[in-house]
Structure 1
């Protein structure tokens, strides 16, 4: 013992110093009481030897504790390396996911550009119509109402009341035009062909024609119809702008949601169906060419997950399904609760996956595509992402139908919070 310090104080001081805290300390004492031994261990001692001392025993104990210390140090170094390796693997997975995403975006960019240019073109055309209308002499536009005979004003307002007929085919429009023209001819109204054309564009069907038929017997009936048509195109242009801007906004939002990638360490609340719809929006240009999408969504609560990573799952599975069908066929997406799980099934009507390669499709670098078309990492990444969610993926395939089933735990924030509270109560 040191002057003014006993063995316990020396041990406590050594353990408090970062430079010496890892040195194994063995107490050698004439005291043999249980309380003395307990106190020694509480101070940080690794062993306690009571006098009289057997020299060989002491050396053996010292050697044992030095070996234990060496093993502990080696284990700590291995753990540190494993932690670093795990972090590198996470970064590598993040880079792989990002690489896959950029590859998909590269394939989609032409279609997305077309999908954005289409509503922009509609907006541009509609704005030109508005500018043309407003560019005319406003006084002339206002005076027109005053020049209409008060008996004809109700007909003018009636013409403006009808919405455009929705999605009539060319054949249906021709059929409707013939009916309107026949009605006009039966009433001995001149210019029946021109009037019928305008009425079809304005969404006026045969039953509605009877209420405005007297207008066309008036000398200025055609002028009133033409002016009503101008106002109709004005309204139609504003509706087109609204629809087109909503469509463009939806595409841009989907692209932004997809391009943003947050490789977070903490789960956040996510909407599975919203993620699936984002991917379908990005693939709209490919889908509209010949794919019939059937959706069967059961209402779901937001769940704790890694939303951006799940979006990558849906992207990969939907992309593969579309390619398997060569963008012609049926794509069915089912989302439903299954006890404490959520099942997402993506079914395509493609040629199917051969049975001899089906067991290998989730292997890293295995691909059924020709050289240059795929890295073979897509489904491996999908599997890893789902394992991170404590979920799973399976596949069944026959000729004419392939079904990928994704199962994810349905853990809501409320359920997770309640689980943490119970764990705290048990620990207390």
Structure 2
């Protein structure tokens, strides 16, 4: 960048008068601006400012253009493009002191800069000029707030999507795996069926075998202790080898899953021919294996169904945008389902202390679910690093209100931070992990419902207390 005064003051004044922004501003005020400003010349690719640089000039683009870029996770994202005739940098009454993004030139650019040291003189003597610049500042704040709120929503959506993708991937993978094993298993059945069909058993003995099988399927009693289970497998394996049964080790593992004991097999061996015991046990084992694989598929399918239903209720996607009476507990539980991946990966223990007698509350459902998401997401982050991370969710009826408390055992919120947590754009998270709009959004939604939200915090116990009117 170079500073220069090669462009004449009269030419600068003409340029300013041509810009739509300054229509209606008296010529003498623009002449004062041109006289007290300096020209900055940039080449394509030059950086006008970077994060942390002081915002000390009102910048008016005389020629060219530059991009405003935000930096998140070491990646640049375009916020806006500033072109000829537009304003950037410092504006009257703005409290911004330092740049939070990057200004990068995209073509040869000339910028007129007025140092903020002239702010008082401008406010005192040049009303119309100040009015234009203040209006520009309010427009900038409105646009930036909209951008940041959209960023906050996209960040929240990203977190939920990542968690849901992980949560759905596990049961989906289990279904694919179990279905593949089941198909392979069933393909071997005709060959094994030949051995079983040759066996001649009485009707009474057949009933005993099938009753034993169904008892084990309906009431499996495998040892809970890994050591006891291993001992059982070894005992069964030795017994099966003594009975000259093929694949004794594999068979023992499967029978142990359903709590078969040595006495069950010995009793069976005493009632059938020695050459038939192997075929009978393999037939029973095959049925147990099929039962287990079908059970795994059913359990995984139910998990997917639960997650899909949680998303449906969470987003309220099959309902209108009007208020409706809802069970607060259902919304909280669905939010926990959606955040389950983050809860599990952080090792956070969730305790539900719900008063199941509280009445339904009239709410904008999808909005109040954003409240649970933001508060729970923050609470999970807050307990990270704790020896025994935990969150308590408590509900109570307080007169005409329902009280919801979200309590975490994190390190707490210092007083100087607690005083600012509801401010727009205030965040203690590192760049890329927070926009500072999460708690502001929470407060706005709660107040929209004519409720209140308070923070009480000390090391080891932080409580967000919400009160929502029942009607």
Q: What is the aligned counterpart of 1:370 among 417, 420, 430?
A: 430
Q: What is the aligned counterpart of 2:199 among 147, 152, 155?
A: 147
1:101 alignment partner in structure 2? 153
Query: 1-side partners of 2:415 and 2:444: how far apart?
Result: 23
Matches within 5 A, 1:223-242: 223-242=279-298
1:346 alignment partner in structure 2? 406
Q: Is the 8 A contact 1:269 1:302 kept in 2?
A: yes
2:307 alignment partner in structure 1? 251
Q: Is the 8 A contact 2:254 2:289 kept in 1?
A: no
Instruction: Say whether 1:297 aligns with 2:354.
Output: yes
- Per-residue CA deviation, residues 51-84 of structure 1 (Å, 9 max, x unaligned), is xxxxxxxxxxxxxxxxxxxxxxxxxxxxxxxxxx
Q: Is the 8 A contact 1:287 1:327 kept in 2?
A: no
Q: What is the aligned counterpart of 2:266 among 206, 213, 221?
A: 213
Query: 1-side partners of 2:223 and 2:454: how far apart?
Result: 41
Superposition RMSD on alpha carbons, in Å? 3.5
Task: Give the number of equivalent residue pairs.
Answer: 318
* Shift in CA distance, 265/247, structure 1 to aligned 2, threshold 3 Å: closer
Q: Is the 8 A contact 1:111 1:285 kept in 2?
A: yes
Query: 2-side partners of 1:94 and 1:361: how far apart?
Result: 19
Instruction: Say whether 1:129 aligns with 2:191.
Output: no
Instruction: Say whether 1:204 aligns with 2:259.
Output: yes
Matches within 5 A, 1:6-17: none
- Per-residue CA deviation, residues 259-286 of structure 1 (Å, 9 max, x unaligned), is 5679977421222111111111111112
Q: What is the aligned counterpart of 1:323 among 376, 381, 389?
A: 381
Q: Is the 8 A contact 1:346 1:404 kept in 2?
A: yes
Secondary structure in structure 1 of the residue aligned to 2:325: strand
Mind listing any 5+ residue stretches in structure 1 that lack a counterpart? 1-84, 412-428
1:158 alignment partner in structure 2? 212
Query: 2-side partners of 1:317 and 1:99: how far apart?
Result: 18
* Shift in CA distance, 205/138, structure 1 to aligned 2, threshold 3 Å: closer
Secondary structure in structure 2 of the residue aligned to 1:395: strand
1:228 Cα deviation from its structure 2 partner: 0.7
* Shift in CA distance, 270/95, structure 1 to aligned 2, threshold 3 Å: farther
Query: 2-side partners of 1:142 and 1:92: how far apart?
Result: 75
2:130 alignment partner in structure 1? none
Query: 2-side partners of 1:243 and 1:145: how far apart?
Result: 33
Q: Is the 8 A contact 2:196 2:280 kept in 1?
A: no
* Shift in CA distance, 167/283, structure 1 to aligned 2, threshold 3 Å: farther
Query: 2-side partners of 1:351 and 1:398: how far apart?
Result: 8
1:6 alignment partner in structure 2? none
1:174 Cα deviation from its structure 2 partner: 1.9
TM-score of the aligned structures, taking structure 1 as reference length: 0.65
Instruction: Say whether 1:361 aligns with 2:430.
Output: no
Matches within 5 A, 1:172-187: 172-177=228-233, 184=239
* Shift in CA distance, 296/247, structure 1 to aligned 2, threshold 3 Å: same
Q: What is the aligned counterpart of 1:386 among 434, 443, 446?
A: 446
Query: 1-side partners of 2:175 and 2:291: how far apart?
Result: 13
Secondary structure in structure 1 of the residue aligned to 2:415: coil
Query: 1-side partners of 2:227 and 2:395: how far apart?
Result: 38
Query: 1-side partners of 2:284 and 2:196: how far apart?
Result: 11
* Shift in CA distance, 297/93, structure 1 to aligned 2, threshold 3 Å: farther
**Whose radius of gyration is greater, 1 or 2?**
1
* Shift in CA distance, 93/145, structure 1 to aligned 2, threshold 3 Å: farther
Mind listing any 5+ residue stretches in structure 2 that lack a counterpart? 1-137
Query: 2-side partners of 1:167 and 1:342: how far apart?
Result: 45
Matches within 5 A, 1:5-84: none
TM-score of the aligned structures, taking structure 2 as reference length: 0.59
**Larger fraction in strand:** 2
**Larger fraction in helix:** 1
1:61 alignment partner in structure 2? none
- Per-residue CA deviation, residues 302-340 of structure 1 (Å, 9 max, x unaligned), is 221111111000000000000111276111111222222
* Shift in CA distance, 95/344, structure 1 to aligned 2, threshold 3 Å: farther
